[in-house]
C-alpha cells in the first residue's frame, strides 16, 4: 500500500493502513485490489506467500499438512498453484484467530477504533527492539527502504527539525542518510505510543501488551506463554519446542535478514555491535535515549556487561 501511494507521507497513510487491517481481520481480501493495480489477483500476489502456511497447506495446496508445526520452505511452497482470493477468504474464515504483523503502524492510536469494535475482539501486541539493532537491520536493506524512509520523513515536513532530516547535507550517501534520519522519527513514534498507552482508559490497556524482542528470543517459552495468556489461547509442548529451536540455531545469517530460519538468539541480539561504527551507535543513542531508558536498553558508555536489563 505504501508503495502504491508513494510519495504520500506516513501520517496521512495511517488511516488507510487501519482500514486495510480492518478488512483483512474480517477475511475480506478484496481491499488488496485497491493497491494492486489490477482486480485480477491470486494467492501468489500475497506478500510472503511462499512461506504462508495457510496458502501452502490443504485444501489450497497439498505441500503441507495444516496441523503440522514447522517452517514453511519457499522452494516447496512455490510449486503450489495460485488460487483465487475468494478461495483464500473462505479458508481464512475457518480460523477463529487472525494474526497480522504490521510494521507500518506508526501511531497505535489509529487502532483504537478497532479495539472498540466488538466484532473484532482485537488484541495489540507491540514488539520493541533495541533501536541500535533496528537501525542495523534497516541499514542492511537501505536501498529497499529509501522510499519508505522518505515517506516517514515527509510526515513531519512542516517542522524545521524534520526539514533538516529530509534534506541531509551529505548527498553522497542519500540512502543511508534517509534511513538513519527515519530512525529518529521511529523512536519519536515509540515514545508517543508509550504515552498514549500510559494515559489510555482501562479498556485499551487490557487489550494491549508490550514485549521486547530480546526477551522473546532469550526466554522464548516464558514469553510465548505470556502472549498466549494475554490472547486467551492455549500453548502446546510442540509449539514451545518449535519456538525454542528457532532461537537455538547455528549462527546468525546477517546477510539475509528477512529469511526465516533457526538462528542463534544471542548473535542476533548483539550483531549491531560488530556492524555499526562508533558514530552510528552514538547517533542512535542520542536521539533514541528516552526510548532506550524506558525500555531498559543501556548505552554503550553505561554498559558494564552484555546483559539487557529487564
pLDDT tens profile 266-303: 888 999 999 999 999 999 999 999 999 999 999 986 55
Mean pLDDT of 252-276: 78
219 compared with 163, residue with greater pLDDT: 219
Query: At residue 305, does pLDDT exceed 50?
Result: no
Rounded-to-integer distance, Cα 64 and Cα 17, Å: 31
Rounded-to-integer distance, Cα 174 and Cα 60, Å: 44
Query: At residue 231, does pLDDT exceed 70?
Result: yes
Rounded-to-integer distance, Cα 208 and Cα 230, Å: 9
Identify the band that residue 47 occupies on the pLDDT scale cut at 50, 70 and 90.
confident
Predicted local confidence at residue 254, as pLDDT: 52
pLDDT tens profile 92-107: 999 999 999 998 898 9
Domain limits, the chain? 28-96, 124-295
Query: At residue 109, does pLDDT exceed 70?
Result: yes
Predicted local confidence at residue 226, as pLDDT: 97
Q: How far is CA 152 from CA 62, 105, 231, 281, in A?
A: 41, 11, 31, 21
**270 exposed, middle or buried (CB, 10 Å; 0-12, 13-18, 19+)?**
middle
Domain 124-295 has CATH 1.20.1270: no
Q: Which residues are registered as beta bridge partners of 125?
A: 209
pLDDT tens profile 171-216: 447 777 778 888 888 999 999 999 999 999 999 999 999 999 999 9
150 compared with 45, residue with greater pLDDT: 45
Q: 3-state DSSP: the chain helix, strand, coil percent, rounded to 5?
A: 50, 5, 45
Question: Chain-wide mean pLDDT for the chain?
Answer: 86
Proportion of the chain above pLDDT 90, given as a percent:
61
Cβ(85)–Cβ(42) under 8 Å?
Answer: yes
Amino acid at each position: 500500500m505504501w508503495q502504491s501511494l508513494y510519495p504520500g507521507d506516513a501520517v496521512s497513510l495511517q488511516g488507510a493502513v487501519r482500514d486495510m487491517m480492518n478488512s483483512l481481520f474480517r477475511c475480506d481480501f478484496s481491499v488488496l485490489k485497491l493497491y494492486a493495480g489490477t482486480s485480477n489477483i491470486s494467492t501468489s500476489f500475497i506478500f510472503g506467500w511462499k512461506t504462508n502456511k495457510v496458502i501452502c497447506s490443504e485444501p489450497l495446496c497439498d505441500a503441507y499438512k495444516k496441523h503440522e508445526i514447522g517452517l514453511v520452505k519457499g522452494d516447496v511452497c512455490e510449486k503450489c498453484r495460485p488460487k483465487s482470493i475468494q478461495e483464500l477468504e473462505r479458508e481464512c474464515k475457518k480460523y477463529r484467530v487472525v494474526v497480522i504483523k504490521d510494521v507500518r503502524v506508526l501511531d497505535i492510536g489509529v487502532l483504537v477504533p478497532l479495539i472498540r469494535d466488538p466484532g473484532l475482539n482485537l488484541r495489540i501486541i507491540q514488539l520493541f527492539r533495541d533501536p541500535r539493532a533496528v537501525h542495523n537491520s534497516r541499514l542492511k536493506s537501505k536501498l529497499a527502504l529509501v522510499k519508505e524512509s522518505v515517506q516517514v520523513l515527509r510526515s513531519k515536513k512542516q517542522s524545521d527539525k524534520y526539514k533538516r532530516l529530509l534534506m541531509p547535507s551529505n548527498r553522497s550517501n542519500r540512502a543511508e542518510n534517509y534511513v538513519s534520519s527515519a530512525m529518529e522519527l521511529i523512536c519519536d513514534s515509540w515514545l508517543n505510543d508509550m504515552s498514549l498507552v500510559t494515559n489510555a482508559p482501562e479498556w485499551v490497556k487490557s487489550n494491549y501488551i508490550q514485549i521486547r524482542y530480546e526477551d522473546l528470543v532469550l526466554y522464548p517459552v516464558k514469553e510465548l506463554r505470556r502472549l498466549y495468556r494475554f490472547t486467551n489461547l492455549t500453548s502446546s509442548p510442540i509449539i514451545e519446542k518449535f519456538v525454542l529451536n528457532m532461537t537455538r540455531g547455528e549462527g546468525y545469517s546477517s546477510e539475509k535478514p528477512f529469511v526465516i530460519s533457526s538462528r542463534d538468539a544471542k548473535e542476533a541480539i548483539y550483531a549491531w555491535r560488530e556492524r555499526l561504527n562508533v558514530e552510528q551507535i552514538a547517533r542512535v543513542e542520542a536521539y533514541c535515549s528516552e526510548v532506550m531508558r524506558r525500555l531498559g536498553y543501556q548505552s554503550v558508555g553505561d554498559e558494564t556487561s552484555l546483559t539487557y536489563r529487564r
